């Protein structure tokens, strides 16, 4: 098992058409965002322009969560509203126009990967997935098999668990929790 902490303060910004994006992780490490050859990518972005068009990624499924307010969008010309922390799931080649400024969490997963899920949790959980992602919404203490990790708001903890061992997680606050099996 490999546990890695990606601190928000250590992410580097790059520009997208509607603001800035901060990449936490791309998997595998040898993958390239530009080549679109990654299994998954985790980032956070600012939406600074309205309206703004979300970048399309053919062949990817996407989870998006607003971290600071609600999201007013058109998705394939259909109006929708997602409240703060409500999980939006969509195909990454959908037509998405945002009419909201704010900060989001973004997890893109290759359509070649059939088992993945994102939810919000603040209770003790038992997992045996190959990849477990934990994104802190606030200052959070997480115990992984009784070992403590302290996360600041918008830090990311990633557990690579290729043996699919049983892992017990304890949370002090709500986190976005994702699981993925190849």
Q: 3-class DSSP state for residue 45?
A: strand
pLDDT at 180: 98
Neighbours of 145 (CB within 10 A): 13
pLDDT at 41: 97
What is d(CA 103, CA 92) in angstroms, rounded to the nearest whole number? Answer: 18
pLDDT at 101: 95
pLDDT at 18: 84
* Alpha carbon separation from 29 to 87, 96, 117, 134 (Å, rounded): 26, 28, 21, 19
Nearest to 153 by CA among 127, 169, 131, 172: 172
**DSSP state, 11?**
-
What is d(CA 132, CA 179) in angstroms, rounded to the nearest whole number? Answer: 5
One pLDDT digit (tens) per residue for the chain, 182 residues:
999 999 999 998 999 888 999 999 999 999 999 899 999 999 999 999 999 999 898 999 999 999 999 999 999 999 999 999 999 999 999 999 999 999 999 999 999 999 999 999 988 899 999 999 999 999 999 999 989 999 999 999 999 999 999 999 999 999 999 999 99
pLDDT at 182: 93
pLDDT at 122: 83
């Amino acid at each position: 098992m490999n546990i890695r902490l990606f601190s928000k303060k250590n992410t580097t910004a790059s520009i997208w058409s509607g603001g800035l994006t901060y990449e936490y992780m791309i998997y595998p490490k040898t993958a390239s965002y530009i080549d679109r050859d990654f299994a998954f990518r985790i980032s956070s972005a600012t939406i600074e322009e309205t309206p703004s068009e979300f970048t399309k990624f053919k062949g990817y499924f996407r989870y998006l969560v607003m971290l600071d307010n609600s999201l007013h969008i058109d998705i394939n010309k259909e109006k929708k509203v997602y409240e703060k922390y409500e999980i939006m799931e969509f195909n990454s080649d959908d037509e998405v126009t945002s009419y909201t400024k704010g900060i989001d969490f973004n997890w893109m997963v290759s359509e070649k990967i059939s088992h993945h899920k994102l939810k919000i949790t603040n209770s003790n959980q038992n997992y045996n997935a190959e990849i477990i992602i934990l994104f802190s919404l606030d200052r959070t203490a997480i115990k992984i098999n009784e070992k403590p990790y302290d996360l600041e708001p918008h830090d990311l903890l990633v557990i690579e668990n290729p043996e699919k061992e049983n892992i017990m997680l304890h949370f002090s606050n709500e986190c976005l929790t994702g699981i993925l099996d190849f």
